[in-house]
Amino acid sequence: MKLIIKPEKGFGKIKVELEEELEREIKRLSERYGVSVERVIEVALKGEFREPLGELEELEEKAGELEKKTWKLEMEYSPLRFKAYGLSEDNRILAGELTSLLAENSQLRRFLGLKPEINPELRRLISYYRK
């Protein structure tokens, strides 16, 4: 890997050829901490290292355990969310059908000369499920 360091101002730049072992270590650090290779090199050159507040390995184990628990809960609740989505779609379809039936009922009442029914509670429920 060829490393080129350019100054913010001016024309001078430094070119350095990195060994393969160092390149692999930089890439490993980049993947491990989820940052770019450039950021790893920048931290190494500037010395912006931070000492961990606790045992890093212990914290990584706890994070791994929490991630496993999270995935376990996700596996338990994803079928429920899928069923809830299906029910909400069914409710939307039924609300549409109910709207058309109410319109038909209203027309039949007018045809028969009856007073049309106005049910604001039912209309509110239908509008809730049609969203």
Q: What is the pLDDT along the chain (131 residues), one digit of tens a residue?
A: 776 777 777 777 777 777 888 888 888 888 988 888 888 887 877 777 666 666 778 888 899 999 999 999 999 999 999 999 999 999 999 999 999 999 999 999 999 999 888 888 888 888 888 87
CA–CA gap between residue 88 and residue 115 (Å, rounded): 33
Q: Please give the single-letter amino acid code of residue 110.
A: R
- Residues with Cβ within 8 Å of 2's Cβ and at least 6 positions away in sequence, in order, are 15, 16, 17, 18
Contact between residue 37 and residue 27 where contact means Cβ atoms under 8 Å apart: yes
Domain ranges of the chain: 2-46, 56-130
**3-class DSSP state of 3:** strand
Residue 53 is predicted with a pLDDT of 66
In whole angstroms, how far apart are CA 98 and each of 35, 95, 128? 54, 5, 13
Q: How many residues does the chain have?
A: 131
Indicate the angle between helix axes 37-46 and 20-33, nearest 10 degrees: 110
Residue 94 is predicted with a pLDDT of 93
Using the Cα atoms of residue 55, residue 61, residue 67 and residue 69 in order, give the sign of their dihedral. negative
